[in-house]
Amino acid sequence: MKIDAIDHFVITVRDIEATCKFYSEVLGMQVITFGADQRKALTFGRQKINLHEAGKELEPKAAKPVPGSADFCLITSVPMPEIMKHLQGLKIPIEVEPSPRTGAVNKLESVYVRDPDGNLVEISNERP
């Protein structure tokens, strides 16, 4: 077997609307509603983050779904100075200032923030 890409992943959140607001306003993701049960998800590029409300998770689910347990990296072509200006303008606390990191394919320059549930979100520019 060989995996080619990530299609989607799920995060468990306390408040779906607060999560949608953060990811759409801060990170520019699109909020979509799908399925007969009107589920919410965040889309960007060819990827999707499905949202499960804590205590109302859909089956099958992670063994121990809890809000604030995710830690993931997102790549953007927006230059880091613009990212920092945007985050500061929205008064988003910076967890870790821009610093060099290692990504899956390239070196990265990353800044870290937390979403409303405390999930660690790494926002990165790829570097040659």
Catalytic residues: 122
115 phi/psi in degrees, rounded to 5: -80, 180
Q: Are 4 and 104 in contact (CB under 8 A)?
A: no
**CB contact at 8 A, 51 and 13:** yes
Check the CA dihedral 93-55-65-11 and report its sign.
negative
